[in-house]
Homo-oligomer: A and B are copies of this chain.
Amino acid sequence: MEAVLTRTLEELATSGLEGLSVERIARSAKVNKTSVYRRWPTREALVAAALEGVLEGMAAQVPDTGSLEGDLLGLLEPVAALLGQPLGRAVLRAAMAESSASSVAALAARKLEDQARSPVRAMIARAKARGEWRVGVNGQLVLGALVGAVIHRAMLEHAPLSKRWLRSLVDFSLHGVSASRRRLKN
């Protein structure tokens, strides 16, 4: 009976949120359409239920590596891994749907961001303690830029999210465009 959720995830990965068909899911899960509608009255509810399990296992875990650079890499790698899969991209697309129409947006976005919140706060606090985080820099802004960069590369440039590229990204986020290490050392 809950092969439905499995099939939903597959459809979500292959056809996207809009392309997904309740009728097709029900058929291929050998369950009656009306039974699906009984439990999950809307398409959104169905997708939300299917994602719940997946998102649960994604509890953002920011490792304490001893340096901001390492922490950021550890934070971004799961994100990159997620967007490296069709399902991950489909979830992101769903989360970007016009908000009113989609409670999936709410669910996915909130769930992910909420889970990330406190580990990220802790990470920033550690960085500040080590003097690696310049006073006045907004954490949300930085994280948004980093995640946004990954999204941009994965979904618009269609370029691979290699570890090398992630390192370059983190490096940029630490030092910016203008700041020269040489100058700093002087």
- Interface presence of A18 (CB below 8 A): yes
A144 and B138 alpha carbons, distance in the complex (Å): 19
Given contacts A179-B184, A186-B186, contact A137 B86 (CB under 8 A): no
Residues B93 and A93 in contact, CB atoms below 8 Å apart: yes
Interface residues of A (CB under 8 A from B): 16, 18-19, 68, 86, 89-90, 93, 95-99, 109, 113, 127, 132-135, 137-138, 140-142, 144-153, 155-158, 165, 168-169, 172-181, 183-184, 186
Oligomer copy total: 4
A171 and B127 alpha carbons, distance in the complex (Å): 19
Which of B86, B96, B184 is within 8 Å of A93, CB to CB? B96
CB distance from A60 to the nearest CB of B (A): 15
CB distance from A18 to the nearest CB of B (A): 3
CB distance from A161 to the nearest CB of B (A): 12
Specify which chain B residues have a CB less than 8 angstroms from the CB of A156 in the assembled complex. Answer: 95-96, 109, 113
Which of B18, B89, B146 is within 8 Å of A16, CB to CB? B18
Which of B133, B145, B155 is within 8 Å of A173, CB to CB? B145
CB distance from A96 to the nearest CB of B (A): 5
11 contacts between A and B (CB under 8 A): A16-B18, A18-B19, A93-B93, A93-B97, A95-B156, A134-B176, A138-B168, A140-B157, A141-B172, A142-B177, A145-B148
Given contacts A144-B149, A146-B145, A184-B184, contact A175 B168 (CB under 8 A): no
Residues A145 and B158 in contact, CB atoms below 8 Å apart: no
